[in-house]
A = this chain, B = another copy of it.
Amino acid sequence: MNNNSTTSEFLKMTSISDGIAVNTDIYGNNRAGRSFKSVLFRWKRSVYQLIWKHLLIYAIVYVLLSILYQFILNEDGKKNFRVLAEHCTGYSRSLNIMIVLGFFTSTTMQRLFNMQITIPGTSKSITMFILSLKPDLPEGPLIIEQYARWQILSWVLTFRLVSKPLSKIYPDLASLQSAGLLTQEERDILEKPEFTNPNTPRPLAVIDWILLLLKETFLKSRYFAEINYMRNVDVVMAYKKSCGNTIKFATQNISPALIQAVILAVYGFGCITLMARNFSKEDAPLSNALISYIPLMPGLQFFIYFAWLCFGRAAVDPFGDDEDDINVKQLVQSHIEDSIRLKDLYNRQLRDLFPNLVCHSSNVL
């Protein structure tokens, strides 16, 4: 195995998401928060897109019940219907679903915000490693190549555990290998029980290699100062903890029973409001028809509750396929590009970029 093949395989990594446009429409995103009109009438990533199906079913059932009452039921049936409707109306007003949802959604969101801040990144440890090495080591670029690839590898192995879209792209080690993130040799080691305990979570195994590489770099005196060894270990340990927290976020998550209870509550409430009607005593056919066949207000009520539920649930699992989720695929891509860019830090001199910059020559004077 020679250097070139490693490099070329590594460069292959960039290929997976060539088709994805990296330039997110940031302004379209948060600017929209400002002008009321533009935000109300957009469809992409809108709340309408999210819940129009539920609302449609709701409206249809509502109208069907109205038809049932007015055209199908006889006098006795109508009486029964009215009694049930009154019963439902009473409960629909005493149930405080909104409080349940408010606490549920704000709890999950704050959890998500905390997680976003502490998500692990590979850029710090790679930069630190590169800048810790003695300059002009002949083997420097190779070691950095190795180090950066293992960092990316451990990152991908970690997020494969928590993000379904990523686990589809990289279902097994073979896919990682063909993406250039893993060599055949490394794959063998990960798969052979005499090297790696099959119980060991794979990201940890790779982080062990990184630590061994740091140790080797120390033993071969490749750091420009001895203290850099322990500094790099610190950074890698912080990265490891951060990976662990991400996995914890996904595994010790909000209990499914809680999500179940909230969904049930909202669906139950939706069913109650379908029946909850007031029958006016006044004889106003037009209004009564409007109220019976155009469920604007119960629909609005259900819309608010259901939308709130959706946001809470999206916050529970932020690594999914939804448009509002954290785009893990793009994140992988940018980590890879980052690592390629950062590797240049080792060999590149400032004068390579800025040949006629004053501060180079001034030392000569």
Cβ contacts under 8 Å, A212 to chain B: 345, 348-350, 353
Residue of B nearest to A31 (CB): B164
When A46-B256, A282-B83 are in contact, do A189 and B354 touch as well, CB less than 8 Å?
Answer: yes
Assess whether B45 is in contact with A257, with CB atoms less than 8 Å apart: yes
Assess whether A113 is in contact with B111, with CB atoms less than 8 Å apart: yes
Interface of chain A, main secondary structure: helix
Cβ contacts under 8 Å, A185 to chain B: 354, 356-357
Number of copies: 5
Decide if A12 is an interface residue (CB 8 Å cutoff).
no
Decide if A261 is an interface residue (CB 8 Å cutoff).
yes
Shortest CB-to-CB span from A30 to chain B, Å, is 5
Decide if A84 is an interface residue (CB 8 Å cutoff).
yes
When A131-B211, A139-B362 are in contact, do A263 and B39 touch as well, CB less than 8 Å?
Answer: yes
Taking residues whose C-beta sits less than 8 angstroms from the other chain, chain A's interface range is 35 or more
Shortest CB-to-CB span from A48 to chain B, Å, is 8
Decide if A288 is an interface residue (CB 8 Å cutoff).
yes
Decide if A96 is an interface residue (CB 8 Å cutoff).
yes
Cβ contacts under 8 Å, A36 to chain B: 263
Assess whether A265 is in contact with B300, with CB atoms less than 8 Å apart: yes
Cβ contacts under 8 Å, A15 to chain B: none
Shortest CB-to-CB span from A14 to chain B, Å, is 9
> Contact mask A289-321 → B, CB, 8 Å, 1/0?
011000001101101100110110110110010
Other-chain contact of A257, B1, B99, B208, B324 (Cβ < 8 Å): B324
Shortest CB-to-CB span from A207 to chain B, Å, is 9
Other-chain contact of A264, B47, B102, B215 (Cβ < 8 Å): B47
**Complexed CA–CA distance, A144 and B127 (Å):** 22
Decide if A176 is an interface residue (CB 8 Å cutoff).
no
Decide if A260 is an interface residue (CB 8 Å cutoff).
yes
- A and B contact pairs by CB, cutoff 8 A, 24 listed: A29-B250, A29-B251, A31-B320, A40-B267, A47-B258, A83-B287, A91-B300, A96-B98, A99-B99, A100-B304, A107-B109, A117-B248, A123-B240, A128-B233, A139-B359, A142-B362, A189-B353, A195-B353, A199-B337, A200-B341, A212-B349, A264-B303, A265-B303, A265-B304
The 3 closest A-B pairs by CB, nearest first: A139-B362, A83-B287, A80-B287
